[in-house]
Amino acid sequence: MNGRLGELPEGSRLLYKVLSGSHATNLVTSTSDEDWRGVYQVPTRTLLGLQQPPETVEVPPDETYWELGHFARLCLKGNPNIMELLWIGAQNPQYRDGYFETDVMGEIIDIRTSFFTTAMSRSYLGWVTKERRILGGYENVVDPQPATKRASHLVRLLLGLRDAFTTGQLPVFLEGPDRDLVMAFKMGDETLTQALFTVDMLTEQCKTLESKANWPEPDPKPIEDIVIRARMEML
């Protein structure tokens, strides 16, 4: 499985490729695109030179890849998009066509719960707060449906964070009432006011759970060890 390695820096190896977006979250509609995300690793020699390789590569129209070191740093920051990538494969057997995972990514996936840290809760809640403030200005527009769809992403992320606090798992593939709730907002079947109310309610719930969960500060050593071994293999 080589993916589209021609678009990556010369000599790179593809470590991970997975179908994300609506297909991964079980929120697909007739207009949904296939969004592919992945991780690549540049040759170690490239990192020793004067020009540093790109940390992210975007391949039009719908593929994004992160370099291994950058991906690891985003894991430690609890970046919501990156967190979800670590849980998609196991939850999405019906979309395994094109799925690709190396031993390096397998090791990172094995320690994915170690990224449930204060950094992750700050990242999720900080992004939601910023977006919520923006969306509040759309309540009186003629057609609030685009904003309601945007709010559905906040609801989905908060549902995931809630479950991470309570179950130690990060659900990406939504089912049952959670899927129905998010899909109703995505399709504009509920008002933006209701969507924002749900965001506020889930935010407060997550803040309460955060104080009880007592998640640790990030520990870089486990994933750093994996990255160093991977770098040595490509030296």
146-204 pLDDT, tens per residue?
899 999 999 999 999 999 999 999 999 999 999 999 999 999 999 999 999 999 999 99
- 142 and 157 both lie in a single domain: yes
Compute the average pLDDT of residues 134-151.
Answer: 86
Distance (Å, whole) CA 190 – CA 136: 15
| Among the ranges given (93-107, 170-184, 211-225), the one the predictor scored with the smallest mean pLDDT | 93-107
- 42 and 95 both lie in a single domain: yes
Query: How many domains, the chain?
Result: 2
Which is nearest to 169 in space by CA: 97, 106, 83, 102?
83
- 37 and 95 both lie in a single domain: yes
- 107 and 145 both lie in a single domain: no
Range of the domain at 14: 5-113+219-233
- 18 and 100 both lie in a single domain: yes
* CB contact at 8 A, 65 and 56: yes
Work out whether strand 63-67 and strand 35-41 pair parallel, antiparallel, or are unpaired. parallel
DSSP string, 120-184: HHHHHHHHHHHHHHHHGGGTTSS--HHHHHHHHHHHHHHHHHHHHHHHS----S--HHHHHHHHH
Confidence of residue 6 (pLDDT cuts 50, 70, 90): low
Half-sphere exposure of 153 (CA within 13 A, CB side): 17
> How many residues make up the chain in this entry?
235
pLDDT score recorded for residue 1: 38
| Beta bridge partner(s), residue 66 | 39, 56
pLDDT score recorded for residue 46: 94
- 163 and 94 both lie in a single domain: no
- 109 and 142 both lie in a single domain: no
Mind listing the pLDDT tens digit for each residue in 33-49? 889 999 999 999 999 98
- 31 and 14 both lie in a single domain: yes
- 28 and 78 both lie in a single domain: yes
